[in-house]
Structure 1
Amino acid sequence: MRPLRYAINVSLDGCCHHEAGLPPDEESMAYWTAELRRADALLYGRVTYEMMEPAWRRPVAGDWPDWMSEWEIPFAETIDAMPKYVVSSTLGAVDGNAELVRGDLAQEVRRLKQEPGAGLALGGVTLPLALADLGLIDEYTFVVHPVVAGHGPTLLSGLRERLRLDPVDRREFRSGAVALRYRPVPAPSDSPT
Structure 2
Amino acid sequence: MRPLRYSINVTLDGSVSHEAGLPPDEESMRYWTAQMERADALLLGRVTYQMMESAWRRPASGTWPDWMAEWEIPFAEAIDRARKYVVSSTLDEVDWNAQLVRGDVGQAVQRLKQEPGEGLWVGGVTLPVALADLGLVDEYELVVQPVLAGHGPTLLAGLRERIRLELVDRHEFPSGAVAVRYRPTRATDRRGRS
The one-letter code matched in structure 2 to 1:163 is I
1:180 aligns with 180
What's the CA shift for 1:96? Answer: 2.5
Show CA shifts across 1:27-78 (max 9, x none).
0000000111111100000010010002331111111111111100000000
The one-letter code matched in structure 2 to 1:115 is E
Q: Gaps spanning 5+ residues in structure 2: where?
A: none
Does the 8 A contact of 2:141 with 2:182 survive in 1?
yes
1:81 aligns with 81
1:113 aligns with 113
Cα distance in 2 between the residues matched to 1:14 and 1:123: 15
Pairing 1:28–2:41 present: no
Cα distance in 2 between the residues matched to 1:67 and 1:56: 12
The one-letter code matched in structure 2 to 1:67 is W
What's the CA shift for 1:188? Answer: 4.1
1:137 aligns with 137
TM-score by length of 1: 0.96
TM-score by length of 2: 0.95
The one-letter code matched in structure 2 to 1:41 is A
Cα distance in 1 between the residues matched to 2:79 and 2:108: 22
2:67 aligns with 67
Paired-residue identity, %: 74
Paired positions, count: 191
Q: Which structure 1 residue ranges, 4+ long, deviate > 3 Å from structure 2?
A: none
Cα distance in 1 between the residues matched to 2:76 and 2:82: 10
Pairing 1:55–2:55 present: yes
Cα distance in 2 between the residues matched to 1:25 and 1:155: 22
